[in-house]
Amino acid sequence: MRRRRPTIGDCLFLVVIVLFAGCAGGAWTSMTSQVNSEVRGRSFGKVLIHGKFQDLGVRQLAEERICTELAGIARCECLKSCEVFFPGEEYTDEQIANRLSELKVDAVLTLQETGSGTSSKYIPQWSTGTVNANVIGNSVNGSITTTTHGGYNVSLPWANYEVILRSTSDNKVAWYATALSGGSQFANWHDLINSASIRTASELVSDGVLQQVAEPDHCNGKRSRPKGLRRFFSPNDTGVASM
């Protein structure tokens, strides 16, 4: 029996399979951000991260991921809002202000989704062939097996996000960004949140809003009493903020 040597087509097929396997759960995020010139150069030594999502698991994921990333690249201390304010509990402006003041929080970073959905992509049909040959004496008997791939649609998730860093000393927006996250057919919504959170931390440092360090570090900001902080946690004007 003569063994067939791999063809270029076979090698390309294997490369495609490896690439798809490596992209499983993969997601990407593009972000546009702007720094408020009125607060440029201000130091934010302690930041509270607020993932503004109804799903508690998504909120915890966003806050945990942003804090983890900032711990490695920024000279600041990061707090998760779900650990400072119990989820589902309602807090007044005064309670929120007092708590942030006690913790000496310099700014609140809010990440929230503004839209999401899926898009469809057609995977073109293509085929690969395998040749099997047997040599008996002067005769060669063989067969060709053809496998068809593609020819179907896949669903690709996407989500838009808004990110705001607001100073607690004067309630000014220090940094604002919008983002679009997308993923492969293997990605889920948690992959998109994870990608958006990582990009958020990176942009805060690259824009110079948070000071970059080579190693994780912590620093304390100036104590200040926040004003009008209801907008950090609730979109309504009822006078009571829900965490």
Contacts of residue 126, defined as CB under 8 A and 6 or more positions apart, other chains included, come to: 148, 149, 150
**Of 144, 145, 150, 147, nearest in space to 128 by CA:** 147
**Cα gap 183→190, rounded to integer Å:** 10
Alpha-carbon torsion (174, 76, 64, 92), positive or negative:
negative
Quote the longest CA-to-CA distance of the chain.
Answer: 95
Q: What is the pLDDT of residue 235?
A: 38
- Distances, alpha carbon 127 to alpha carbons 124, 131, 142, in Å: 10, 13, 19
Q: What is the pLDDT of residue 150?
A: 77
- Distances, alpha carbon 141 to alpha carbons 5, 22, 133, 201, in Å: 17, 39, 6, 62
Q: What is the mean pLDDT of residues 72-77?
A: 94
Question: Domains (ranges, CATH) in the chain?
Answer: 27-119+156-237 (3.30.160)
The string of pLDDT tens digits covering residues 6-22 is 444 444 433 433 343 34
Q: What is the pLDDT of residue 25?
A: 57
Greater confidence (123 vs 167) lies with 167
**Of 190, 209, 235, nearest in space to 70 by CA:** 209
The residues that bridge with 130 in the sheet, in sequence order, are: 145
**Cα gap 224→164, rounded to integer Å:** 19
The string of pLDDT tens digits covering residues 87-110 is 999 999 999 999 999 999 999 999
